[in-house]
Structure 1
């Protein structure tokens, strides 16, 4: 007969290969059909609410690796919370207004804006955005992200826009909204003002010039034959120069260079002597900056004065200590210019082209004017030096082109008016990582106001009317009426109707005695859109609540969504819209370089899912310290795939050895478990506690490493290796075998639950193969709980010491195998010379042959009596010999008892007993 057929070998249809790219869509289709999201919500209804509020990605283009990191992290948290005693809805959202959609439409070649009304063009923008949402929604779902995908929030919907208007109105009511002419970030390429969050820095090559302004009235402190020297990297702003700023407390020196006199900061004389090749320098006079106030100089080529003014913003880091001041083209310039009642001159239009306020340069693009202005300065003898430098310069984050500072009339939210409340709200939030608090605190601490108006078409209009006297009109009545119109018709109604038809019927105002009104045509900053989501989503929807428990986004959102949400929420409610902030870093390539299409080092989530599967991508996300920048490449993902394979094989082994186990009928009691079984449950308890604690702290890499190590070391290399002998060879209902199966069942179900938030497709597949579980889906279960193990600590200490002895024996066996003393370990007999402590431990360790996976074990004298050929270790000395006897045909152990049983002469006594009792 074939004795192999009498062994209880593993049996399972659970495949060795994951085949994730093909199987995952099948699971997702099943989840969609069964509406697993709804089932989960129904199961957890009534539990404490946990809300992770989705920061809306922009609805344009395929998802990138940053999207994948973000959405997977959110999904892990929400899935965990729903299995940890919470009701955790997840409502995905999209940001849908703004320039990229306008640009995408106009660049497509299918849209001629000149032939369309504003309302018609906006309708096309909406259609485009909704198509992009459908595209991205399928890609997010392909990642395995579970959520209310049929009812997302979208910033272009009527309900959202209506609530956004109310946020604006409430801020205006409190006096936080105002209009003013200020110097703001301006993008000539977008023809619009930008918020700080829409600025990124990149290297730019700029001219660097030193210019002398001739003193015309020294006010008694200068003689009038001096030049005050300024330095700038923006020559094009010289036509807008209205003053020169010096620091009141710095010392300034009049230097004589070959008969020409220059005024510069005293501490910079040596540097400037080298920079301007002055040669011999005679110092004629030194005085404080405050003494120079109101000294008059002449603009280099215009017939106007340029007085000296005082400014605390002046530094000695670079330049001359005398700062060229153009209030229309710099924030510090604007602030100091207002203090001295200077004109806010801005001779550049929305396209970056000079107007007639800059005679001689009309119609010239500002960047091209650099050369012309420099030539004009040289012509009049004011240019002291021209070079070029490459420096970090602000760019429009959408068009990637340089921005300028430009004074225009804009709408602002005054941050300084409620800054103290903002700073207190930041203190009340929990931050992951902790430095996030300092980062946002510093941003808010220095912020004066927020430019919220944009000169674009596709966005939520600023709901302001103007009277006949030009005064803006914002009242509770107008805000409520406009909000109701938007809720009914959407914001396009603003562009479809005249101002009088957007006002409440019979509306009157002291600003318009004749009843004539006009409407604001600027739209709101998109950050005001998404920043209003706490009102438009959390407060609007019945299944959510404000404040949310968590906002989770990339670290760039400290100046973006985290910031705008905080500002609008504190302004409206007095509190932050979130209880906790989690931020993650950016994805770099395998060498730590920034990803770039030109470098060819971009990892595309859709490609990864087609090649390896979403669960591999998700497992990678869980494996990294996401709060810092993370590295990803094909090589790294293949390493993760190998780790996945090992974990999957561990599950497959456990499933295979539970093929004849019914937990309701075959489970053994705690008293029937052996020490090694209980020890493994202690290890399982430790794993559950570590994983749970890590989930609670939003730390996922410790989970990945702990479970990977448990599967590969604690299970595969230890317990499962030892258990095979019993599982395969003993009869089916042997109590020892059922004990191991009990441990395997509890371990398997616990591991599946612990990993379900991270690799949901694979864990759902494993769950479908487990006999004896009551729930149809692992998503409808709760996280595992630890079990009560008697004398757990003592048991753990004891068996960790036994494992140390085992490791020493296995090392001796490996050396013997290399030296050809034995082949397989079952060919071995080990003779042990232990220490007294080790001897005591080994006497209580059960069948040592199974522990060491050898055929024979002999424990002899004390360690110090071992023969010379023994290998010496800390706890034991080992002699490895070839086992005595014949190999059993059934269990492959070597035994002297093989051949003693006539009926089965090739079996050992143990196999003979199992076989005959089974027969």
Structure 2
């Protein structure tokens, strides 16, 4: 029994694809379709017009079974838009999600939707994200899983608050008035985005979404907050935070954007040593005038200096300035940047105990202290330390108990603590000018330079931030890091390269500031004692407030009297004093905590972990991380089994989209056109663009990409139209042929269809819609258009309508149509449903309710591949011998010594010579003769060829290298006026096959 194919499918079909267009004359004229009729013009997937030209051919035109279908070759403009909307309505797009939730399914697939921000119109970034998710959801639903997907929106936060207030500002408005305006603004944005998502064909129950401003969601969030607080992860402290003067609020790391072109006025300043370090004081009397040299890009922080830090294991030098006799202490590694003369060397550890004079504050002295954060990359190796305005500086202050003195207010201006010269000056501008001026006056300024470097900006106002201490609420992420990293080991991340970024972001985050000084957000459920300022927060108070939020929404924090918010029973359990001793807090929670708790609010009815989170790469430090930290803190596990991290949508030039550059692509305009010279593409083109893109990198969009997507869909429609046209009048439920009775080439196509279905299923399972498209296009171009279609057209059009050969072919075409339609459906739901409406053998049920590709293991038959691919190898030799010629005008003799290859070819042609065998069909020759050796009386003009075909039997146990010879001669047959094959005996006479068909028709 033949078990294994010899040459690979790809090799065989590549050969066939290269040469198939050289076949018989029947296969050179293509059909286009119009109004259900076929015409012998144009090119593409339409078939060849087999009726002979002019007088004789016209007699037989009605006897040829040409393709017929009402499926349009092309849809464009308003017709395209109307058809997509009609498909959505007729095929129940709006009800599909609810239908699949109600059906029985063995497995569930949960894709948790990361909430888009409710502060603007839908953009191509939304399209990229939502369509990518929808492709996977539709695939999972088709293959029988129950999809859990609840769309959501992130509704709180400063950007919404600022946009809602506009030019009004918040002056004179109560928190409730601000919240009302912000809610109205967010609701408007949500409505616009939701309408767009629906138009893109995104499957969901759009009446059951989640919103972070819903009371039930806020209550679930407070439950997470309370559990984290009770475990000690949430605490209040006074420490430096990123502060945005332009927003007047604290920011988390995820709310920063780093501007690499920021320009600072960097300075070198001297701190005179007033007390030499004990280890170098002895015998160094001449060093009494030495000064410590520091470098900083933030001169405004000098007035708050509390120490100068050094690296204990580094080498330092005392050097003399070239322009005067001043002695300076700097790191030896950094002396090359200074015009100095070396005096002597010392070790950093010898600096311990030294004390400097502050350069701008009279009578103030600051110590030299060791620190690990000192580096030699820039500066002098001696770091000016202002604990109020640096995270590492604060760590030094905590270790050595230094003062954390803040001289900067919420507007980013110096307070009265900085002294009358600096008070009310903005630290980043005129405050910096003044500090540099003061350093000059005291003789402490050695040099000033312009420094271009990366600096944190407020992600919304695009203004620089400052670091200043503030009393805020924090999450101690340092205590969660190890658990978070451990849980990530069990998470699959696509692409895998994103894992290192996720871990790096975790490493950089020692604490997370979660309090914001705004009105639009979820209030932090804390009360403060009027006299002591001590916070009152515990499970009794928070659970009560969560219950109120669930019933009334978080507006009640401002609406209800404090006696209702803090009832006596909660106070008694908390062992607090009378309610009159307390005031409610005014801070709200960071929106990253809002969205990061979504797993607790949305995944309750599902598995405790989502199968996938799918978002852009900006969420590596955002939602992916906040969700991970909150879930690990509460449940000791990640909220997701896999993470899919996609890139950003950019212009065709690879530029970030911006209105100023004029390169913004509006998805609404992509679909509907509208502007002059803007084409109408429809939703499926937008979806194809998403699917075809390499979403793991930056995704380019513009006319080139969209035109390419449109053209690809047009070619696909062409193929689908050919399939539908040749299935006119065929009912697979009544007329399908059993695979065992089919022609070998038809069986072989079922085998290829099975392989195709496995490949495309694997691609979708890997979140690789781009690979699914490539597999689809290869199957259509190589296996169908260039191979199968070119071979079967004669049988389809010219064999009797109910013949076994034609029905065999139609059975396969129907299976191919069904498989291709289902395989493209996750990407092109509108086109797939349109095809399904025209396809034979279906009841009124829509495609998406009828399941995934139905391939059968029966389609794999031993010996099938060897027979077809052996013929393929011989055909390759045949076509090579007549380059550029019409194969239908030649007779082919194949000589094979008795053996396996001969037996395989005999299965395709039982008689010694034939014009109508399966072998003749495969060769597309006029006549094929199969013999054991070439005849001696060959025509003198015969073209000879030779080749071998390797056969593997029983898994390679038996291998046979089978040689064959061919002889090619011009046929003596005459072209048949009906089928155009060279199989007639005389001019204007039908070939035997066509004579039989025509006589039976009459």
**What corresponds to 2:457 in structure 1?**
395
What is the aligned partner in structure 2 of residue 147 from structure 1? Answer: 204
2:957 matched residue in structure 1: none
Equivalents in 2 of 1:213, 1:475: separation in Å?
Answer: 48
Asked whether the 8 Å contact 1:51–1:550 carries over to 2, the reply is yes
Query: Offset at 1:457?
Result: 1.5
Partner of 1:262: 328
Q: 1:126 to 1:813 in 2, by over 3 A?
A: farther
CA RMSD in angstroms comes to: 2.6
Shift of 1:515: 3.6
After TM superposition, the structure 1 = structure 2 runs for residues 447-596 of structure 1, keeping only pairs within 5 Å, are: 447-468=509-530, 469-505=532-568, 507-508=571-572, 512=577, 515-539=580-604, 542=605, 544-596=606-658
Secondary structure at the counterpart of residue 418 of structure 2: coil
Distance 2:720 2:778 in 1: 14
Q: CA deviation at 1:254?
A: 0.9
Name 1:213's counterpart in structure 2.
Answer: 271
The verdict on how the C-alpha distance between 1:237 and 1:834 changes in structure 2, with shifts beyond 3 A counting, is farther
User: Which position in structure 2 is the counterpart of 1:712?
Assistant: 781
Shift of 1:719: 0.8
**1:488-540 CA distances to partner (integer Å, 9 max, x unpaired)?**
1111111223433311245346554574211111110000000111111112x
> What is the CA distance between 1:835 and its match in structure 2?
7.5
Say whether residues 1:912 and 2:995 are aligned partners: yes
1:97 paired to 2:180: no
CA displacement at 1:418 relative to structure 2 = 3.2
With over 3 angstroms needed to count, the CA separation of the structure-2 counterparts of 1:486 and 1:812, relative to structure 1, is farther
Residues 190 and 806 (structure 1), Cα distance of their counterparts in 2 relative to 1, 3 Å cut: farther
Identify which of structures 1 and 2 has the higher relative contact order when contacts are C-alpha pairs closer than 8 Å and 6+ apart. Answer: 2
Asked if the contact 1:829–1:857 (Cα under 8 Å) also holds between the matched residues in 2, the reply is no
Aligned to 1:353: 413
Cross-structure match for 2:380: 320
1:101-500 equivalences in 2 (<5 Å): 101-107=160-166, 109=167, 111=168, 113-202=170-259, 203-220=261-278, 221=280, 223-257=287-321, 258-270=324-336, 272-273=337-338, 277-278=339-340, 281-284=341-344, 286-303=345-362, 304-359=364-419, 360-368=421-429, 369-468=431-530, 469-500=532-563
Cα separation, partners in 2 of 1:134 and 1:726, compared to 1, 3 Å: same
CA distance in 2, matches of 1:200, 1:25: 40
Alpha-carbon distance between aligned partners in 2 of 1:295 and 1:217, rounded to the nearest angstrom: 5
- C-alpha contact 1:206 1:390 (8 A) present in aligned 2: yes
Q: 1:336 to 1:112 in 2, by over 3 A?
A: closer
Q: Give, in angstroms, the shift of residue 564 of structure 1.
A: 0.5
The equivalent residue for 1:850 is 921
- State the SS of the aligned residue for 1:706: helix
Task: Give the drift of 1:788.
Answer: 2.6
Is 1:48 aligned to residue 107 of structure 2? yes
1:14 to 2:71 alignment: yes
Q: Alpha carbons of 1:513 and 1:153: their partners in 2 closer, same or farther (altered >3 Å)?
A: closer
Do the aligned partners of 2:244 and 2:251 also contact (CA within 8 Å) in 1?
yes
How far off is 1:880 after superposition? 7.7
| 3-state SS, counterpart of residue 894 of structure 1 | coil
CA–CA separation in structure 2 for the residues paired with 1:366 and 1:867: 100
- Which of 646, 650, 657 aligns to 2:719? It is 650
- Contact (CA 8 Å) 2:984, 2:990: kept in 1 or not? no
**Residues 409 and 680 (structure 1 numbering): CA distance in 2 closer, same or farther, change over 3 Å?**
same
Q: Which runs of 5+ in 1 are unaligned?
A: 817-821, 900-904
CA contact 1:650–1:712 (8 Å) conserved in 2: no
Matched residue of 2:122: which SS? coil
Contact 1:54 1:551 in 2 (8 A): yes
Query: What is the CA-CA distance between 1:684 and the residue it aligns to?
Result: 0.7
In the TM superposition, residue 779 of structure 1 has moved relative to its aligned partner by 0.7
Q: 1:615 aligns with which of 664, 680, 684?
A: 684
Task: For 1:363 and 1:434, locate their aligned partners in 2 and report how far apart those are by CA, in whole Å.
Answer: 50
Q: Quick one: distance in 1 between partners of 2:438 and 2:351?
A: 27
The change in CA–CA distance for 1:148 and 1:725 in structure 2 (over 3 A counts) is same
Inter-partner Cα distance in structure 2 for 1:268 and 1:48: 64
Given candidates 884, 888, 897, the residue that maps to 2:985 is: 897
Which deviates more, 619-628 or 504-513? 504-513
Measure the CA separation in 2 of the matches of 1:595 and 1:807. 51
Change in 2 beyond 3 A, CA 1:871/1:236? farther
Q: Deviations over 1:867-904 (max 9, x none)?
A: 799597866898887654543222122334245xxxxx
After superposition, the Cα gap between the structure-2 partners of 1:251 and 1:835, relative to the gap in structure 1 and judged at 3 Å, is: farther
User: In structure 1, what is the Cα distance between the partners aligned to 2:762 and 2:100?
Assistant: 23
Alignment CA distance shift 1:492-1:514 (3 Å)? closer
The total of aligned residue pairs comes to: 893
How far residue 804 of structure 1 moved from its aligned partner, in angstroms, is: 4.2
Moved more, 334-343 or 690-699: 690-699
- The TM-score normalised by the length of structure 1 is 0.92
TM-score, with structure 2 as normaliser: 0.85
Report which stretch shifted further, 152-161 or 293-302: 293-302
Per-residue deviation, 1:856? 4.7
Q: Aligned in 2, Cα 1:296/1:868: closer, same or farther, shift over 3 Å?
A: farther
Q: Secondary structure at the match of 1:126?
A: helix
Counterpart of 1:662 (choices 731, 734, 737) is 731
**Unaligned runs of at least 5 residues, structure 2:** 1-57, 282-286, 673-679, 909-916, 949-963
Structure 2 CA distance for aligned equivalents of residues 514 and 199 of structure 1: 39
Q: CA deviation at 1:310?
A: 1.2
1:643-662 CA-to-partner distances (Å, cap 9, x unmatched) read 22222211111111111211
Q: CA deviation at 1:412?
A: 0.3
Q: Could you tell me how far apart the structure 2 residues matched to 1:181 and 1:62 are?
A: 39
2:243 aligns to what SS in structure 1?
strand
Tell whether the 8 Å contact from 2:301 to 2:389 is kept in structure 1 after alignment: yes
Q: CA deviation at 1:31?
A: 4.6
Contact 1:830 1:878 in 2 (8 A): no
Change (3 A) 1:601 1:562: same
1:677 Cα deviation after fit:
0.9
Q: Please say if residues 833 and 863 of structure 1, whose CA atoms lie closer than 8 Å, have aligned partners that are also in contact.
A: no
Note the alpha carbon deviations across 1:408-464, whole angstroms, 9 max, x for none.
111001122333322222122222222333332333244321110111111111110
Question: Structure 1 pair 253/688, CA: closer, same or farther in 2 (3 Å)?
Answer: same
Judging changes above 3 Å, is the alpha-carbon distance between structure 1 residues 385 and 628 closer, same or farther for their aligned structure 2 residues? same
- In the TM superposition, what whole-angstrom CA distance separates every residue of 1:811-840 from its partner, at most 9, and x where no partner exists? 666623xxxxx6xx65x3255677769877
Q: Distance in 1 between matches of 2:110 and 2:524?
A: 30
Residue 624 of structure 1 and its aligned partner are, at CA, apart by: 2.7
Query: C-alpha offsets along residues 267-296 of structure 1, whole Å, 9 cap, x if unaligned?
Result: 2222x22xxx34xx1223x22222212311
- Tell me the residue number matched to 1:819: none
Counterpart secondary structure, 2:68: coil
